[in-house]
Amino acid sequence: MRFVVPALLASLALPASALADLYTVVDKNGEVTITTTPRKGARILHHVRDDAPPTRRARRATRRATAQPSSPSARAQRFAPHVRSAADHYGLPQALVWAVMKVESGFDPTVVSDKGAQGLMQLMPGTAGDMGVTDAFDPVQNIYGGARFLRILANKFDGDLVLTLSAYHAGGGAVDRVGGIPYQQTAEYVRRVLNAYYAYQKQLPVADTP
């Protein structure tokens, strides 16, 4: 199934006052940037109904995620064979799995979020169980579980990458209720993952060589 970002095909001008909305900007070289900050010439990607403002914990989590280095780290490299295998198995772009993992955990397989999400792909215990993951701190199981969950969501949302990522972050029910990105913090999450995705499309982390 092909992933699509609808705003790259057709979009409408966005009022500068809608600060919670998600924008796409294409520069003169054709580079695409996703942002929550209104800019001249920016076009709408998805409207956001900001009925759940970020909590203090969510803001701390955002700061931790955005503090991760943009270049592939030594931690990332050791997971390269598993990412490649899981992406191939579930028919996903490797760049997407890498991008979600980078934003979710910064490639730390031991991290636990304030809400209890665990491991590299930050799987909630219930989701991990549904995906067949018995040990969320096992990197291989976690990567496969996260990739399987992404595939299920991609199927549900007909390959729409924005909605798929929104559901990964906020849940499919929340996305269904508003027909798009449900919360401002989800818009920021989608922005970060998409920008990482575009970067990884140009260069993927490679496995360590003995």
The catalytic residue among 50, 61, 84, 104 is 104
Other Cβ atoms closer than 10 A to 6: 15
Q: Is the dihedral of CA 75, 199, 167, 86 positive or negative?
A: negative
Sort 108 into a burial class: Cβ within 10 Å, 0-12 / 13-18 / 19+: middle
Task: Give Cα separations from 167 to 25, 39, 136, 177 (angstroms).
Answer: 23, 26, 20, 11
Helices 184-202, 161-170: axis angle to 10 degrees equals: 130
Task: Give Cα separations from 116 to 63, 119, 122 (angstroms).
Answer: 18, 10, 8
- At 45 the three-state DSSP class reads strand
Beta bridge partners of 112: 118
Q: Where are the alpha helices (DSSP H) in the chain?
A: 56-66, 74-77, 80-90, 94-105, 125-130, 139-156, 161-170, 172-178, 184-202
Is 31 labeled as catalytic in the residue annotation? no
Would you please indicate which residues are annotated as catalytic (active-site) residues? 104
